[in-house]
C-alpha cells in the first residue's frame, strides 16, 4: 500500500488561505440503520463528528451530504435523511445537511450533470472546497465520491485518514502472531480476501455459514447446512496452504421445522459434534469451538475479525459470536473489527469500548485490504490539491 499521501484538512486550509466563511462540502457516511424513524446504531454518525467539528471551529460554512439506504434513484420517504439531520443538528446546530444523495439517479451512475450540481453549490452558493470523510462509501465510483475532487480543492477527513492508517498498520506492521477471524455466509463473498490474507497472517479461523463449504472440502458431513458446492475444490486448495486454517468442531443446529429469527416456532435445537446429521442445519459454532477460537484470539498479537460466527440476531444462535466478541475484548492483542455485522455484534454484546479499532467501512475495509486502494482515495490523491 505504497500510495501518495492523502491531502489533509490542514492542506485544504492552507490551499484556501484559511477556512473562515469558506463554504465546504463534506461527504460523510451517515448510512445508519433506522427503524420507525429512530436510529438503531449511530456509530457512523458519531465517527463523522470529528471532521465536522474541526471545520466549524475554523468558522467554515459546512454542508454535509450522504446516502441512506437503497432508494433506487428516486425519492422514497422510507429513506428520508430527516432522523440523521435532526440528530446532527442537535450536536452541531449550524450545519446544513442535504437530502439523501441516492434520491437522484446520477449519484450511483456518476452522471456529470449531478456532479456539476454538487460542485456548483447544490442549489446554494458555490463551494470553495470538498472533504471526503465517507470511508464506508469510498470503494464506490459515485458522483459525490469521485466527482468533486476533480474540480474543487479537496481533502480527506479525519475519519477517512484514520481508517486508512489502521489498515496500513495491520498489513505492514502487525504484532505477531497475526490472526484473522472470518465469518459470514459465503466463501465466494470473501475468497479474494482469504487469498490476500494468507500471505500476511500466521493463522486463520473460519466460522459462520462459510465454514460448512470448507468442512465439506475436508470430508466432514454438514447435514442440511449452507454449502457452496461450486467452491468446494477452491476450499480444498486453500486448506492445503501453508497457513493453518482452523475450522469449528462443534455446532448449534436446528431442524427443518424451525424458522430462523422466530424462536416462537417450535423446533429441535441440538448441539452437534464434528459432523451434523441430515435434517439439521448448522446455525452457530458450538461452545467448544467458541472457547477454542477465543483461546487463539487471546494468544495473538494482532486480530482482524470480519463476519459473525452464526446467525447472532437470533438469540438461539448468538453464543458463538458473543464468545468471540468477548475474546476480542479480553485479549491484549491489537484488535480490529472490520465493520458490518461484526461491528454491530460487538456493540450489541457491550464490547465496543474494549476494541482497539472498529471500522465504519464494511465492504470498503475489505476492498482496501484486498486491493490496497479505493476509487475515492485515488481521486483525492490526484485531485485539485
Known catalytic residues are: 44, 186, 340, 363
Element (H, E) at 144: helix 143-146
Which residues are CB-neighbours of 227 under 8 A, at least 6 positions away?
A: 212, 213, 216
Q: By the 8 A CB rule, do 47 and 81 touch? A: no
How many Cβ atoms are within 10 Å of 19's Cβ, its own excluded? 22
Rounded CA separation 356/333 (Å): 9
Q: By the 8 A CB rule, do 385 and 12 touch? A: yes
Rounded CA separation 163/339 (Å): 11
Q: By the 8 A CB rule, do 146 and 109 touch? A: no
Length of the chain: 385
Q: By the 8 A CB rule, do 2 and 107 touch? A: no
Amino acid at each position: 500500500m505504497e500510495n501518495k499521501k492523502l491531502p489533509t484538512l490542514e492542506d485544504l486550509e492552507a490551499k484556501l488561505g484559511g477556512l473562515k466563511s469558506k463554504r465546504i462540502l463534506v461527504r460523510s457516511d451517515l448510512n445508519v440503520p433506522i427503524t420507525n424513524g429512530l436510529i438503531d446504531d449511530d456509530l457512523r454518525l458519531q465517527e463523522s463528528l470529528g471532521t465536522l467539528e474541526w471545520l466549524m471551529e475554523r468558522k467554515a460554512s459546512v454542508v454535509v451530504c450522504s446516502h441512506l439506504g437503497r432508494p433506487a434513484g428516486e425519492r422514497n420517504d422510507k429513506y428520508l435523511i430527516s432522523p440523521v439531520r435532526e440528530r446532527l443538528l442537535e450536536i452541531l446546530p449550524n450545519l446544513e445537511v442535504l437530502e439523501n444523495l441516492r434520491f437522484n439517479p446520477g449519484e450511483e451512475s456518476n452522471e456529470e450533470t449531478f456532479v456539476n450540481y454538487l460542485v456548483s453549490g447544490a442549489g446554494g452558493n458555490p463551494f470553495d472546497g470538498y472533504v471526503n470523510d465517507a470511508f464506508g462509501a469510498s470503494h464506490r465510483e459515485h458522483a459525490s465520491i469521485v466527482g468533486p475532487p476533480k474540480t474543487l480543492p479537496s481533502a480527506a477527513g479525519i475519519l477517512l485518514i484514520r481508517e486508512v492508517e489502521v489498515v496500513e498498520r495491520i498489513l505492514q506492521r502487525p504484532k505477531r502472531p497475526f490472526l484473522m477471524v472470518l465469518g459470514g455466509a459465503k466463501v465466494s463473498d470473501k475468497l479474494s480476501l482469504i487469498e490476500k490474507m494468507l500471505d500476511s497472517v500466521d493463522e486463520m479461523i473460519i466460522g459462520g455459514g462459510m465454514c460448512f463449504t470448507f468442512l465439506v472440502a475436508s470430508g466432514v458431513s454438514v447435514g442440511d447446512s449452507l454449502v457452496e458446492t461450486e467452491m468446494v475444490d477452491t476450499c480444498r486448495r486453500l486448506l492445503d496452504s501453508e497457513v493453518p486454517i482452523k475450522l469449528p468442531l462443534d455446532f448449534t443446529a436446528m431442524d427443518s421445522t424451525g424458522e430462523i429469527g422466530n424462536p416462537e416456532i417450535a423446533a429441535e435445537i441440538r448441539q452437534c459434534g464434528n459432523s451434523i446429521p441430515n435434517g439439521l442445519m448448522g446455525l452457530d459454532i458450538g461452545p467448544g469451538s467458541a472457547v477454542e477460537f477465543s483461546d487463539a484470539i487471546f494468544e495473538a498479537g494482532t486480530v482482524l475479525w470480519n463476519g459473525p460466527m452464526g446467525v447472532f440476531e437470533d438469540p438461539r444462535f448468538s453464543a458463538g459470536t458473543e464468545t468471540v466478541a468477548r475474546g476480542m475484548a479480553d485479549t491484549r492483542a491489537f484488535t480490529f473489527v472490520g465493520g458490518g455485522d461484526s461491528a454491530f455484534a460487538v456493540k450489541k454484546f457491550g464490547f465496543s469500548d474494549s476494541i482497539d479499532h472498529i471500522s465504519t467501512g464494511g465492504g470498503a475495509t475489505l476492498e482496501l485490504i484486498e486491493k490496497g486502494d479505493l476509487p475515492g482515495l485515488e481521486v483525492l490523491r490526484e485531485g485539485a490539491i
